[in-house]
Chain A
């Protein structure tokens, strides 16, 4: 691990100021950052500890809830309001990582976790995300845990989070305080960038921008399902995951929200698929069509083609369960 300067400021304001310079990084749970620092994939010069700033509250707000940035994944999954009103979020959290990691990993940190592309982790390999302009060793290399949606010729990396998929389906907004104190509120669509030719830029955050909370509106519906398909039964990243929230009315799907993991360069959501389902009676043909629409622009490579039929079947199974 490269040497760094560790600071634990007393206030959020001081933390933002301390992290406003290039080469600084916030740390909360540290489960991803410390791992990457050991491998020297990340080498911040300054590490600013935000774990004791009191950003760990969960409260009701505007018919929904506000989740502090340093609420741990364990606490959020076990929160009784989340279990009752947002079960898709509890389920997604519990499908991720291990008991030990969920006790440290935080809400804000989970949103910001880095890809598990093996070439991003291998400092001897070309990787435009780790070393901009160096190329992409995954293209033409071994692919499996890579994305098929929202990728570019410069990067095929997958966003690995389960939690963020649930946040996406629940229309979460990220509350961000800038170094100068200005607070803004970002939909995840505006929070995550697509890789394009700058895959090293994963979010729209600037240096010193501190995630202070994630806000959830009242849930769209009470039919909520999270299903994760992976290489082993526990403690593995998703090959494909589907989060669904449906509002049913008289046997029809009145409204649908769907988000996907294991497929996209960012937690994936596609309004076209949701529009297709709205107002329709559940049927196999409809759910098959939803899968076709979801993957209409998918660009699989050798090693990731299997994700297309897998995603279609997972989506169909989830919709069938949620619409029952």
Chain B
């Protein structure tokens, strides 16, 4: 089937079997191997990418279902230098083997947007109030991304720093 997907701002016209997942299209047909295949069943989050700005498991989505849509992968976050989260993961040693890192960073990028949009989580005391990114909130909101090296202290520190910095910048701008 003919499918056109815009990945990191670049249009790709592909001829795909309907069985090809978005993850396999990105890695094997477009050559962007940043997104990783871990469990291939939506349990580990290594394949997390942004579709129209939202985080999804690319392994559990058919590429043909994304005809005409815009996808951002970890490579796309790095255009013009590392993104704040990418830099923070380096600064805080938020990885050991690094296999889950692209998924962690894509997931955290969208998670911070969800936080700014006021989305509550399972651990939020109040469904309507402002949410502080406490340790419990961060763990809950990132629970779809596993790190088998268990580098969670570094991952949490990186995400917390970027969230605080974004908050400070917003305050300074006001």
Contact = CB atoms under 8 A, between A and B. Distances in A.
Given A6-B1, A235-B143, A30 B61 contact: yes
A234 B142 CA distance: 10
B19 A98 contact: no
Contact of A100 (B56, B117, B119): B56
Contacts of A1: 19
A87 interface: yes
A59 to B, nearest CB: 20
Contacts of A42: none
Contact of B120 (A4, A51, A83, A235): A83
Contacts of A30: 60-62, 65
Q: Main SS of chain B's interface residues? A: loop
A100 B122 contact: no
Interface of A is mostly: mixed
Contact of A104 (B60, B121, B122, B139): B60
Interface stretch (B5-13, B38-46, B76-84, B162-170): B38-46
B41 A38 contact: yes
B127 A100 contact: no
A4 B144 contact: no
Given A27-B65, A30-B65, A49-B65, A101 B127 contact: no
Interface of A: 1, 3-6, 8, 27, 30-31, 34-35, 38, 47, 49, 51, 74, 77-78, 80, 83-84, 87, 90-91, 94-95, 97-101, 103-104, 233-235
Given A31-B60, A38-B41, 7 more contacts: A8-B64, A8-B65, A38-B40, A84-B127, A98-B143, A234-B139, A234-B140
